[in-house]
């Protein structure tokens, strides 16, 4: 009895299924259209314009801004400074926050969650606020200046230098690294450590042979995110001083002070390429990381 | 014994890092509440600076809230269907679209803002309205909504649930509102908190797009840091912290809801 | 292997933060060269016991752990000279097979030649010659566990510890690896403690088995003792299937009146309940039967047939019979239980459930 009934029923089912799959594709498309339209109209089109704009003549040199960028010392120095600063920040943040994050992930003690909260909440502070906090630390009235005045009778000020930027970038990078490292440590198989110890490995050997290799992808990925974020950080730099030779401030200066649109566009495109590549690398390393600029 | 020592050393180091994070915030909060920061606490505590901030900058606060809400509505209306579309697309296509939508986050806000100015800056009315800034915020926050909702849809095994619903005769609309939306509510919530937080704090794009009449909170902050007394800047920062910290607490709480269960 | 040591736990208990008592004060002695299996359901304290032996956990104050004559209570795992095999293999993913196996040897700073010699030796033992350069990701589950085993024995530990090593493998592979581990343990003659919740594994590998329940040892004995003279109802239930017959009346000559008939068991004392294993119940013609009942369910298992026989008074006996003959549900059946197959728990104890 089942054989006779099954045939027509099955056919009808597949027929309906084919029609349904057609409709399903349409539904998928309709669901995606609004986001894609918005993106195309307000990002893809404008950014293409920016891309072309960068090829136009620079105001001072008269040749293509891309070319000018690559041949003028001033821009190359900015580029090198920005990259070096961002790299230094990433390495420092990964080292400092990696260590603290590992400690917090592996120990439970009273007040531990408070420490985690203190270390992670500044994650969403905008760059301007971070800049202001650096002034609070290293400005003319900052914590350091007051301490040094009390101890040595002089004010030590670092906020308005590249070191001030370094401190500010470090400030917004640490929470990112802490969250990533803690998650990575939680996911790390604890029995790997136990196995290494059972074979006689000391604390530091376990660290070197098991833990660091185990969380290396997370460290690299979060480092790449810190790098990209620092490269593009505008708010902090803007608050601390507009004379510093770093790319975001150059872009802003070319655009507002000199109305040199071609150069501003060229610098933006180069900066964008660098941050995009760094974030793409980060995502490849840890498939669920999502970077945000400050 | 050596284990004790190691623990203490590590704890000490972590506390130093915490100090680095918390000291400037504490100083800023204090500066915003003291009569005269240069004289210190003995000059007395006051809410004078906070009320001055309110008088000078309350419109920036309202604009930021308005922007964040509008941004939330748009990213929800666009982002939830987009996440649904991504879930149903073939893997490679979904990946490519996600990469694309992520570009406004991956590329510095300055570049995005410049690009917008180049193409749409000449439309005077549009340029002068808050909607111009809204576009920037939506571009910047949309990927976060899509990502949050998409990942929840993914872990909820939504395609399977949907197949079950359609085997029971549910139409696409019934499935979307009866199965899809309720099952990714936690993702929408997480995404929404993220969108609001990021929109309220967004500076890089907004600074380039704002006009004297469309100043947001962070723009006002930068303005006050540059041109006002330290106490005013601090009080303003305090107001900002009071707005953003509850959101951050909620994000952590929502993260526990949607996070991996063990 | 050279110097296997005995293990002695004295009054070892373990209370976790929050007050949960994972292990009640426990005394346990494992002879040098012996394989002891810790068997029990999850949460019974078997893994905690293993971790106390390994040094990953410390017993509560007062508990002592000795390896041979030496008190190792204060030593952390890395100083205890133990080899450990984990359920999820715990192989270092950043090292290949050879580097995993020689990890402990490199920590001991043995000479290159000695390391190579031992590597070849253990690879041979676990039947993985030619796999030395493979990456861990390229191995199957069974191969991974053999690498883990090789890594643990390469350091020639005084004690070998297994934490449910076969639980992650599928049934066929589990059976094969169980045989291999058994052969290896006999060959090495090393002291081993093996944690499992699988009774077949326990029977096959253990010189002795400690059945654990709720943080204490319910019974310690050879597999035969555990199976045939379980100390209490929990052990009887946990190891294999068991039938329970409530005694209605008992005569002085060792005749017990139970639902469905009478049984003889003069070797048993006064008892409220008699126990027997399903495979010990024989099917006999009705007129010769000690017990009579009606078949309520019959399940064909291939190698045998499982019958559920209702002997009245709410008693259902599980009976294993040959699979050749069909036993339709509803038919009457006659049963006999040999005297020596009937037993009662040697010590009063809690029942497993209900």
- What is the domain partition of chain B in residue ranges? 49-258
Which residues of B are less than 8 Å from A189 in CB distance? Answer: none
State whether residue B34 is helix, strand or coil.
Answer: strand
**Which chains have at least 3 CB atom pairs separated by less than 8 Å from chain B?**
A
- Spatial neighbors of A266 by CB under 8 A, at least 6 apart, are A53, A54, A55, A58, A64, A65, A66, A68, A69
Q: Which two tokens stand for residue A265?
A: 């566009």
State whether residue C21 is helix, strand or coil.
Answer: strand
A107: contact with C, CB 8 A cutoff: no
* CATH fit for domain C243-341, picks 3.40.50.300, 2.40.50.140, 3.40.50.720, 3.65.10.10: 2.40.50.140
Fold of C7-237: Rossmann fold (3.40.50)
Find tokens 């199957």 and name the residue.
C140
In this prediction, residue A20 carries a pLDDT of 63
**Per-residue pLDDT band at C348 (split at 50, 70, 90):** low
- What tens-digit pLDDT sequence spans chain B (262 residues)? 477 888 999 999 999 999 999 999 999 998 889 888 877 777 888 888 888 888 888 899 999 999 999 999 999 999 999 999 998 888 889 989 998 999 999 999 999 999 999 999 888 888 889 999 999 999 999 999 999 999 888 888 888 888 888 888 888 788 888 888 888 888 899 899 999 999 999 999 999 999 888 999 999 999 898 888 888 899 999 999 998 888 888 887 877 765 543 3
Asked whether the domain spanning C243-341 has the same topology as the one spanning C7-237, the reply is no
Shortest CB distance from C94 goes to which of A197, A200, A213?
A: A213
The angle, 0 to 180 degrees and rounded to 10, between the axes of the packed helices B217-227 and B185-201 is 30
Q: Which two tokens stand for residue C160?
A: 């070998």
In this prediction, residue B238 carries a pLDDT of 92
- What is the domain partition of chain C in residue ranges? 7-237, 243-341
Q: Which two tokens stand for residue B228?
A: 């006002």
Min distance B203 CA to chain A CA atoms (Å) = 7
Task: Express each pLDDT in C280-292 by its tens digit.
Answer: 898 888 888 888 8
Which residues of B are less than 8 Å from A34 in CB distance? Answer: 77-78, 81-82
**Per-residue pLDDT band at C350 (split at 50, 70, 90):** very low
Distance of alpha carbon A218 from alpha carbon A211, whole angstroms: 11
Instruction: Provide the strand spans (E) within A178-219.
Output: none
What is the mean predicted confidence (pLDDT) over C7-29? 90
Which residues of C are less than 8 Å from A194 in CB distance? Answer: 54, 56, 77, 84, 86, 90
DSSP track, A117-177: HHHHGGGG--HHHHHHHHHHHHSTTSHHHHHHHHHHSS----TTSHHHHHHHHHHHHHHHH
Min distance C88 CA to chain A CA atoms (Å) = 8
Q: Is A245 exposed, middle or buried (0-12, 13-18, 19+ CB in 10 A)?
A: middle
In this prediction, residue B260 carries a pLDDT of 45
Distance of alpha carbon C252 from alpha carbon C269, whole angstroms: 10
Domain B49-258 CATH superfamily = MetI-like (1.10.3720.10)
ipTM, two decimals? 0.87
Shortest CB distance from A191 goes to which of C81, C88, C94?
A: C88
Residue B168's CB is within 10 A of a number of other CB atoms, namely 9
CA–CA distances in Å: residue C330 to residues C127, C298, C312, C336 = 53, 10, 13, 19
What is the mean predicted confidence (pLDDT) over A236-259? 89
pLDDT exceeds cutoff 50 at A199: yes
pLDDT exceeds cutoff 90 at A259: no
Task: Express each pLDDT in C85-111 by its tens digit.
Answer: 998 899 998 899 999 999 999 999 999
What is the mean predicted confidence (pLDDT) over A152-176? 92
C76: contact with A, CB 8 A cutoff: yes
Cα-based torsion angle of the residue sequence B14, B19, B22, B28 in order, rounded to the nearest 10 degrees: -170
Across A138-147, B221-230, C154-163, C303-312, the highest mean pLDDT is recorded for: C154-163
**Per-residue pLDDT band at A3 (split at 50, 70, 90):** very low
A207: contact with C, CB 8 A cutoff: no
CA–CA distances in Å: residue B257 to residues A93, B155, B164, B260 = 29, 13, 25, 8
Q: Is A238 exposed, middle or buried (0-12, 13-18, 19+ CB in 10 A)?
A: buried
- Spatial neighbors of C237 by CB under 8 A, at least 6 apart, are C351, C352, C353
CB B67 within 8 Å of CB B198: no
What is the mean predicted confidence (pLDDT) over C51-74? 92
In this prediction, residue B257 carries a pLDDT of 65
In this prediction, residue B258 carries a pLDDT of 57
pLDDT exceeds cutoff 80 at C346: no
Residue of B nearest to A202 (CA): B3
Which residues of A are less than 8 Å from B15 in CB distance? Answer: 115
**Which chains have at least 3 CB atom pairs separated by less than 8 Å from chain A?**
B, C
- Spatial neighbors of B128 by CB under 8 A, at least 6 apart, are B211, B213, B214
Instruction: Provide the strand spans (E) within chain C.
Output: 7-15, 21-30, 35-39, 64-67, 70-71, 82-85, 159-163, 191-196, 208-213, 216-221, 243-246, 249-250, 255-258, 261-264, 273-276, 282-284, 291-300, 305-312, 315-321, 332-336
State whether residue A193 is helix, strand or coil.
Answer: helix
């Amino acid at each position: 009895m089942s054989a006779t009934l099954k045939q027509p029923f099955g056919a009808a089912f597949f027929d309906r299924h084919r029609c349904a799959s057609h409709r399903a594709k349409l539904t998928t498309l309709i669901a995606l259209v609004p986001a894609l339209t918005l993106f195309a109209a307000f990002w893809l089109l404008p950014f293409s314009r920016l891309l072309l704009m960068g090829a136009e003549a620079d105001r001072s040199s008269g040749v293509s801004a891309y070319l000018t960028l690559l041949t003028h010392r001033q821009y190359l120095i900015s580029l090198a400074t920005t990259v070096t600063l961002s790299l230094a920040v990433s390495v420092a943040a990964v080292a400092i926050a990696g260590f603290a994050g590992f400690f917090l992930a592996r120990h439970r003690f009273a007040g531990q969650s408070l420490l985690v909260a203190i270390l992670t909440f500044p994650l969403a502070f905008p760059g301007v606020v971070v800049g202001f906090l650096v002034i609070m630390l290293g400005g003319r009235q900052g914590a350091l200046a007051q301490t040094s005045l009390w101890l040595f009778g002089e004010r030590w000020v670092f906020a308005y230098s590249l070191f001030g930027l370094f401190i500010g970038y470090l400030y917004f990078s640490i929470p990112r690294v802490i969250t990533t490292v803690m998650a990575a440590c939680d996911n790390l198989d604890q029995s790997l450590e136990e196995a290494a110890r059972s074979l006689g490995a000391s604390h530091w050997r376990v660290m070197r042979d098991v833990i660091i290799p185990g969380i290396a992808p997370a460290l690299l990925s979060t480092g790449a995110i810190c790098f990209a974020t620092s490269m593009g950080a505008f708010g902090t730099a803007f608050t601390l001083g507009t004379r510093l030779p770093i790319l975001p401030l150059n872009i802003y200066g070319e655009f507002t002070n000199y109305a040199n649109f071609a150069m501003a566009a060229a610098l933006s495109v180069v900066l964008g390429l660098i941050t995009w590549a760094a974030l793409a690398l980060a995502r490849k390393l840890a498939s669920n990381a999502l970077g945000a600029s400050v | 014994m050596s284990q004790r020592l190691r623990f203490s050393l590590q704890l000490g180091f972590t506390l130093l890092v915490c100090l680095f994070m918390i000291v400037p915030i504490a100083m800023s909060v204090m500066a915003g509440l003291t009569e005269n920061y240069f004289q210190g606490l003995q000059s007395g505590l006051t809410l004078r600076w906070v009320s001055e901030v309110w008088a000078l900058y309350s419109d920036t606060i309202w604009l930021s809230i308005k922007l964040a809400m509008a941004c939330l509505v748009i990213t929800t209306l666009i982002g939830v269907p987009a996440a649904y579309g991504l879930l149903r697309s073939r893997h490679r296509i979904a990946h490519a679209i996600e990469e694309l939508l992520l570009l406004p986050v991956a590329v510095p806000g300055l570049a995005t803002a410049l690009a917008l100015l180049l193409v749409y800056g000449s439309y005077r009315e549009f340029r002068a309205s808050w909607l111009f800034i809204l576009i920037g915020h939506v571009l910047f926050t949309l990927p976060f909504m899509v990502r949050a909702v998409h990942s929840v849809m993914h872990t909820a095994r939504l395609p399977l649930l949907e197949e079950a619903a359609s085997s029971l005769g549910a139409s696409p609309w019934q499935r979307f509102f009866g199965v899809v939306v309720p099952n990714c509510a936690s993702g929408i919530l997480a995404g929404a908190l993220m969108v609001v937080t990021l929109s309220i704090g967004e500076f890089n794009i907004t600074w380039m797009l704002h006009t004297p009449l469309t100043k947001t909170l962070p723009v006002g902050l930068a303005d006050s840091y540059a041109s006002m007394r330290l106490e005013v800047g601090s009080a303003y920062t305090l107001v900002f912290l009071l707005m953003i910290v509850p959101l951050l607490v909620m994000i952590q709480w929502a993260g526990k809801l949607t996070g991996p269960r063990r | 292997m050279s110097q296997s040591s005995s293990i002695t736990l004295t009054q070892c208990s373990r209370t976790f933060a929050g007050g949960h008592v994972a292990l009640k004060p426990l005394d346990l002695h494992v002879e040098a060269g012996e394989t002891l299996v810790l068997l029990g359901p999850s949460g019974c304290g078997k893994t905690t016991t293993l971790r106390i032996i390994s040094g990953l956990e410390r017993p509560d104050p007062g508990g002592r752990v000795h390896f041979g004559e030496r008190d190792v209570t204060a030593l952390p795992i890395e100083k205890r000279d133990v080899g450990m095999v984990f359920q999820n293999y715990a192989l270092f993913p950043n090292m290949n097979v050879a580097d995993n196996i020689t990890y402990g040897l490199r920590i001991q700073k043995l000479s290159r030649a000695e390391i190579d010699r031992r590597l070849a030796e253990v690879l041979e033992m676990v039947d993985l010659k030619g796999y030395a350069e493979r990456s861990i990701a390229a191995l199957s589950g069974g191969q991974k566990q053999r690498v883990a085993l090789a890594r643990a024995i390469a350091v020639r530990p005084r004690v070998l510890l297994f934490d449910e090593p076969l639980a992650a493998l599928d049934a066929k592979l589990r059976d094969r690896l169980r045989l291999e581990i058994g052969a290896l343990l006999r060959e090495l003659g090393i002291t081993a403690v093996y944690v499992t919740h699988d009774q077949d594994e326990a029977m096959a590998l253990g010189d002795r088995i400690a059945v654990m329940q709720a943080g204490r040892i319910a019974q310690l004995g050879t597999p035969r003792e555990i199976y045939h003279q379980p100390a209490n109802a929990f052990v009887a239930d946990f190891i294999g299937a068991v039938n329970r017959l409530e005694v209605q009346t008992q005569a002085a000559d060792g005749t017990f009146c139970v639902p469905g008939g009478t049984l003889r068991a003069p070797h048993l004392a006064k008892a409220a309940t008699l126990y027997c294993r399903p495979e010990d119940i024989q099917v006999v013609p009705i007129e010769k039967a000690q017990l009579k009942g009606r078949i309520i369910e019959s399940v064909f298992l291939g190698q045998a047939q499982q019958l559920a026989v209702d002997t009245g008074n709410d008693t259902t006996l599980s009976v294993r019979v040959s699979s050749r003959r069909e036993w339709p549900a509803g038919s009457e059946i006659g049963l006999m239980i040999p005297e020596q197959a009937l037993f009662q728990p040697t010590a009063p104890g809690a029942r497993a459930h209900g």
